[in-house]
Structure 1
């Protein structure tokens, strides 16, 4: 039986540190800086690449967090679009015209042009599957001098926000010549990706031809460490300078000045399979919803370092709570009557197996028979998307791609959504999602998003349990590491080790 992480002995933590010993030692091809004597930044990342670091997958967010691949647009702290590889844009009906920044070169020395932008965007729109930021979006791009015209099938008020998604990074031509898209030596950021060793490590060097401010660090050495205890141990032992996503159970073992805690637009949710099995019944889904005690999860598993969820959207979007209606009209719970269910989750986030064990007890108390299936995420995602489980526990970012939750809601709960683990196919939900997607930015869109959230919650296809706070570990020698709620930035041009 798997013990909760907080019960691991000191010897287990020590063993994790031993396993990491030497893992950040630079190789011949990646150890060089720029001859300035600066220190390379050693980063322990949580999840290994799932798709060979293809920017058309979730691996794009690793490229963004390493400041190696960039997009036309970036988002500010409020989620508003700001210039990046594009210096400005304007809308005319279905078409948005973006001016491409002059003086930018890719890491292979070739020049950023409008044609290069069109090539990258076209590769994304024709990919199978498409990046989820393009779910439900028909988008074409054409070059006109130093400008790129991006046209959608219908007027889309969020085209600039969509183009800020790391999955729409702009890469050099040679990135697209193989069977997969390769970001090695093809980005535009302050750091050049120089080597990748499968799912174990990656290395980046400072790119001195960067169009913006020169990186202060000569490079980054990345180790993929799925085990949260090992990531925390690497920071404690001095093997890592930055540890991504420190488990709650390990936070107390670090010095307070090594921890930064930020409310995240990330919700720990129980997705219920509406397509088959016991949860095809709305009454049985309602029974599961009523059986869950989220407060005990926050207190017991997360040690108070999380917020109880009232909806899918949490405190990282403060307007959501003010606009959200009551739960009046929810389906009445039925009797589980010993229904057997299998709940899946993954080990990459250390708290989730413990969440699963706690839910197992709560649901069994309510009359369910519960089996658990726990694997690494890479080994379980395809089964979850195929509807192989009755329920699935997922830690899900709600504004990861565009800074707007409508894209997440469509992806996870639209009948055509690419991440519809609940297998939800509900006409009222689809209608509400379409309204939210079409609404103009601002108050009208926020209200439409909450209406869509309410429609989803009304089906009990998903039971939001808690909103997470990210715990990032930084050695005291690290200066200006990013602490980004959207998980887009980690090491920036301004980050360095003293």
Structure 2
């Protein structure tokens, strides 16, 4: 499936703003509608597909948010696995898990969901190049037998069920894999069938009348991709859209407050300090930087109050973290700020970060540090950040990756062999704590181990969590039952409808 060449940003914004009212079908009619009752839901989404809606890419999250492609399991609010296309599972050995496949499910092309169909989808994912993130570095094999699928891993993995909740491991009909790319049109099992995907412009979905989970209340979904945030907000104000995702902070105050919902995201705005060289190699200097930062001023100023002050690396999107966190158990005493100039890097791709950097610069200078900023596009600064070229780096970082579990984030960002270790941290206590969390079975014990690892990181002052971002979702007054999901896996469910 070929994507249209994107318009330049200015042209795209103008096109979106001026022609938006013509982009959405009326909410109760559509050329693609097959249902005789219920209204259609018009949705304005931020990012257009980047990989032709392939479920093996980040586009998979769109398919999940539209309730068209489904996985073997889903996650509850705590991050524990729940049944979906698999009704139950059991660990049958150190390296093996058995999943029982739900009976009576049909794909949107009318073919039946079978263990062999599940094996095919998971095998395609395991052999993809590149692999879905959730399988990166994981030796993974699926084998069908009767109504079960056995998943075998190269090493013991207590998170296999959570991995299988990733939208990138959606189960699709055989027709999806007939070409060179995976094409999800008419190939899912969800409440809505994807009828048409018009490149980077729009998508059309109709209610699937034979959905195993019960008939959806809406007749269908009409999606328009609107990258410009002001244009998305305008669509909600004008009534051109029923649901709008990712409204910018700057636009939220222009909308009626009963039209917006702020959802805590598992994303933390953090100042990473270089522990390997430079000023912040000294623990006392790192402590001085921590004490100089006024996170509440950042939330009130840069984010207009639409963020949460960080108490740790893990925020309110993971409610168990706040409930169980005991906090820092020890840290170095703050030293007098050094005379050396410190360089803080960040990037322009997230609109708030340059302003965060400027505010932090002032706060640190007020405390006695001399600070220089270096701000570039992310693509042009990532390599230097990972190489330890800066004394400090400001990053907005997702703290739960596709499994819904924070251990992978803690490993990549803070273990000695972490692939995203901007702080250049090499601490045996942190390594041991994170490794323990990774090896602990899912559930309360694992969550407790994760918080122990968080405490170990905080005690080093290698990373200073400042705030947790929120995603702002817009719903017209006549929308009922849209999902407000911090993991951004759900949006339109079978129970979503227009009054």
The normalised TM-score by structure 2 is 0.84
Q: Contact between 2:115 and 2:146, CA under 8 Å: does it hold in 1?
A: yes
**TM-superposed deviation, 1:261:** 2.7
The one-character-per-residue Cα deviations of 1:227-285 (angstroms, maximum 9, x if unpaired) are 33222221111121111122233222222221223333332223456788887777776
Q: Contact between 1:175 and 1:184, CA under 8 Å: does it hold in 2?
A: yes
Could you tell me how far apart the structure 2 residues matched to 1:225 and 1:271 are? 33
Could you tell me how far apart the structure 2 residues matched to 1:239 and 1:476 are? 13
Counterparts in 2 of 1:196 and 1:32: CA distance versus 1, 3 Å:
closer
For the aligned residue pairs, the C-alpha RMSD in angstroms reads 3.3
Counterparts in 2 of 1:382 and 1:206: CA distance versus 1, 3 Å:
farther
Could you tell me how far apart the structure 2 residues matched to 1:195 and 1:467 are? 36
Whether 1:370 aligns to 2:378 is no
Correspondence 1:327-476 to 2 at 5 A: 328-330=330-332, 335=338, 337-347=340-350, 350-363=351-364, 366-374=369-377, 390=390, 393-414=394-415, 428-476=429-477
Q: What SS does structure 2 have at the residue aligned with 1:410?
A: helix
Could you tell me how far apart the structure 2 residues matched to 1:302 and 1:374 are? 21
Q: Which runs of 5+ in 1 are unaligned?
A: 1-12
Q: Contact between 2:78 and 2:319, CA under 8 Å: does it hold in 1?
A: no
Could you tell me how far apart the structure 1 residues matched to 2:185 and 2:221 are? 14
Could you tell me how far apart the structure 2 residues matched to 1:415 and 1:63 are? 36
Q: Contact between 2:80 and 2:442, CA under 8 Å: does it hold in 1?
A: no
Correspondence 1:168-179 to 2 at 5 A: 168-179=169-180
Aligned to 2:82: 82
Q: Contact between 1:74 and 1:164, CA under 8 Å: does it hold in 2?
A: yes
Q: Which runs of 5+ in 2 are unaligned?
A: 1-12
**TM-superposed deviation, 1:184:** 2.6
Correspondence 1:44-83 to 2 at 5 A: 44-83=44-83
Aligned to 1:43: 43
Counterparts in 2 of 1:138 and 1:251: CA distance versus 1, 3 Å:
same
Q: Contact between 2:279 and 2:338, CA under 8 Å: does it hold in 1?
A: no
Aligned to 2:317: 316
**TM-superposed deviation, 1:450:** 1.4
The one-character-per-residue Cα deviations of 1:290-318 (angstroms, maximum 9, x if unpaired) are 44321111111222232211211113334
Could you tell me how far apart the structure 2 residues matched to 1:332 and 1:147 are? 58
Counterparts in 2 of 1:483 and 1:341: CA distance versus 1, 3 Å:
closer
Aligned to 2:4: none
Q: What SS does structure 1 have at the residue aligned with 2:370?
A: coil
The one-character-per-residue Cα deviations of 1:365-407 (angstroms, maximum 9, x if unpaired) are 53111122257xxx67976886597465443333352332223
Q: Contact between 1:105 and 1:209, CA under 8 Å: does it hold in 2?
A: yes
The normalised TM-score by structure 1 is 0.84
Q: Which region of structure 1 is more displaced relative to structure 2, 276-285 or 53-62?
A: 276-285
Whether 1:140 aligns to 2:144 is no
Q: What SS does structure 1 have at the residue aligned with 2:22?
A: coil
Q: Contact between 1:346 and 1:380, CA under 8 Å: does it hold in 2?
A: no
Q: Contact between 2:207 and 2:219, CA under 8 Å: does it hold in 1?
A: yes
**TM-superposed deviation, 1:165:** 1.6
Counterparts in 2 of 1:345 and 1:134: CA distance versus 1, 3 Å:
farther
The one-character-per-residue Cα deviations of 1:11-66 (angstroms, maximum 9, x if unpaired) are xx99974353323248xxx7321142543211122233343333233322221111
Q: Which region of structure 1 is more displaced relative to structure 2, 421-430 or 165-174?
A: 421-430
Correspondence 1:98-497 to 2 at 5 A: 98-135=99-136, 137-271=138-272, 289-321=290-322, 322-326=324-328, 328-330=330-332, 335=338, 337-347=340-350, 350-363=351-364, 366-374=369-377, 390=390, 393-414=394-415, 428-497=429-498
Q: Contact between 1:363 and 1:369, CA under 8 Å: does it hold in 2?
A: no
Could you tell me how far apart the structure 1 residues matched to 2:380 and 2:211 are? 39
Aligned residues: 478
Could you tell me how far apart the structure 2 residues matched to 1:288 and 1:154 are? 40
The one-character-per-residue Cα deviations of 1:430-449 (angstroms, maximum 9, x if unpaired) are 43222101112333212211
Q: Contact between 2:172 and 2:184, CA under 8 Å: does it hold in 1?
A: yes
Could you tell me how far apart the structure 1 residues matched to 2:394 and 2:50 are? 19
Aligned to 1:32: 32
Q: Contact between 2:60 and 2:168, CA under 8 Å: does it hold in 1?
A: yes
